[in-house]
């Protein structure tokens, strides 16, 4: 029979793994793509987002 420490450790490791997997995919879905934008377009995007969130 396994000890309860082993079970708790496996539970924590699994929870941390799922937390990071979920966070990675959430970032992919929620963060806008900026690969093809020029610096001026990025500046406008950041200033609009910052102004919207600061209000």
Residue 17 confidence (pLDDT) above 80: yes
Confidence at residue 2, expressed as pLDDT on a 0 to 100 scale:
63
Domain extent at residue 27: 4-54
| Number of alpha helices (DSSP H) and beta strands (DSSP E) in the chain | 2, 0
Model confidence pLDDT, tens digit, residues 34-43: 778 888 887 8
Q: How far apart are CA 50 and CA 44, in angstroms?
A: 10
DSSP 31: S
User: Domain tally for the chain?
Assistant: 1
Q: Give first-to-last CA distance, the chain, whole Å.
A: 57
User: How many residues appear in the chain?
Assistant: 55
């Amino acid at each position: 029979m396994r000890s309860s420490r082993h079970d708790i450790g496996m539970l924590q490791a699994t929870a941390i793994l799922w937390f990071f997997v979920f966070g990675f995919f959430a970032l992919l879905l929620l963060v806008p793509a900026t690969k093809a934008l020029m610096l001026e377009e990025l500046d406008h995007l950041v200033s609009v987002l910052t102004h919207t969130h600061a209000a």
